[in-house]
Structure 1
């Protein structure tokens, strides 16, 4: 069995479908219970329908980067694993970074041509068990971190933004440097995405373009994909 047949096997797809069906069932049960409780409290059906539609609309925007991340990861990891991770508790950013780092740890690139079953298994563990390790750590670390943040917030709230930005820039810089070492094409795409994201945030300051702030991440992913397709024939 070749690599693509393995990662897109029927058994794996059925397993993921069953898990997602269970999750969906739980959501439907809670929705039904909430609906019945709202009716008991006197909320009209028209109001509840409006609430449900509003919730669906609000959920669509955060789902865009998730769908894009699945599209990006599917050729390399198959449909099942990215579908499972991003549909339950996974994060688009974390999954891509975890999978890329896990593949690199086995000595291969996160591409359709270089990935091996061993690299896929490593990525699967990193995306599932590896990411879950952070959950109990947060329970221990979050409280003292919040206390520290609160101290700085009382002195000068601007420090909170500075600390958060520094942490984000550190992660992005580490990831970008490793990707940039692979050649001029990844470097050009990274630089282009930085510029595009910056322009989106500048444009979002316009009251009429505030919606760009919510769409900046998915638009940047799309821009990176399009840019890579455009420049690859010229720079490869």
Structure 2
């Protein structure tokens, strides 16, 4: 049987749809609990609505990047699996590499050779098993993170914020550096994104343009993508 017919079959849509529904339900539960917690700590309706609006706008840029990656994954492993994997994990780079490793193990080059049912099967298992460690670790450690944070920061909120900021900067620097050293279009997009972000942040802060503060990430990502694609 044709592997792509299996990949885009109704049973696959059903199987992949179940975890996506669970993710949506989880997001709604978290949103509801966060809203209730906001009221308890004294946040106003306006503050919470502004936070929701800002978060939604900020997520547009990264979501477009994920969508573009999903289109390439859709061609190689089918619509249901691409939809499900990027709804749960969201890492285009990991999914593509994992699927490629899986198919290569049975002698099929992803995107170049004709996908076989066995290669599809191995690709799916590689993507799932390769990321299951994150889920297990998060499940086990989530309830203990308060103690870990307190131990690391010594109960000092300022120190905890400094550590958290350093961790975020380190994570994004690690991801960016892998593109910068390649000296290709990825490097150009990375530099352009940083330049646009720096300019927009400076303008929005100096002029106190509220809407620009919300849209600067999305504008930077789209501008860098479009310019890189053109050149």
Contact 1:66-1:86 at 8 Å conserved across structures: yes
> Is the CA contact 2:196–2:220 (under 8 Å) kept in the aligned structure 1?
no
Write the distance in 2 (CA, Å) between the matches of 1:217 and 1:118: 38
Q: Give the Å deviation of 1:6.
A: 0.5
**Partners of 2:226 and 2:123 in 1: how far apart?**
21
Aligned to 2:106: 106
Contact 1:201 / 1:213 at 8 angstroms: preserved in 2? no
Partner of 1:14: 14
Q: Deviations over 1:148-205 (max 9, x none)?
A: xxxxxxxxx9xx97xx669954x998xx8xxxxxxxxxxxxxx752453365257448
Unaligned segments of structure 2, at least 5 residues: 141-165, 203-215
Deviations 1:115-174, CA, capped at 9 Å, x for gaps:
1111111111111102334677999xxxxxxxxxxxxxxxxx9xx97xx669954x998x
Give the SS at the match of 1:115: coil
| In 2: Cα distance, 1:66 partner to 1:215 partner | 15
Per-residue CA distance 1:77-120 (angstroms, 9 max, x = gap): 11111211111124111111111222222211212752111111
Separation in 1 of the partners of 2:80 and 2:132?
A: 19
**Equivalent residue for 1:45?**
45
TM-score, normalized by length of structure 1?
A: 0.63
Alpha carbons 1:68, 1:221 under 8 Å: kept: no
Deviation at 1:42, TM superposition (A): 3.5
- For structure 1, the residue ranges without an aligned partner over 5 or more in a row are 140-156, 177-190, 228-236
The 2-side partners of 1:203 and 1:167 are apart by: 13
Task: Name the structure 2 match of 1:60.
Answer: 60
Partner of 1:42: helix, strand, or coil?
coil
Task: Name the SS of the counterpart of 1:114 in structure 2.
Answer: coil
Greater length-normalized contact order (CA 8 Å, ≥ 6 residues apart): 2
The alignment's TM-score, normalised by the length of structure 2, stands at 0.64
Secondary structure of the corresponding residue to residue 93 of structure 1: helix
Q: CA deviation at 1:44?
A: 2.5
In the comparison of the two structures, how many residue pairs are matched?
190
Please say which of residues 37-46 and 63-72 is displaced more in the overlay: 37-46
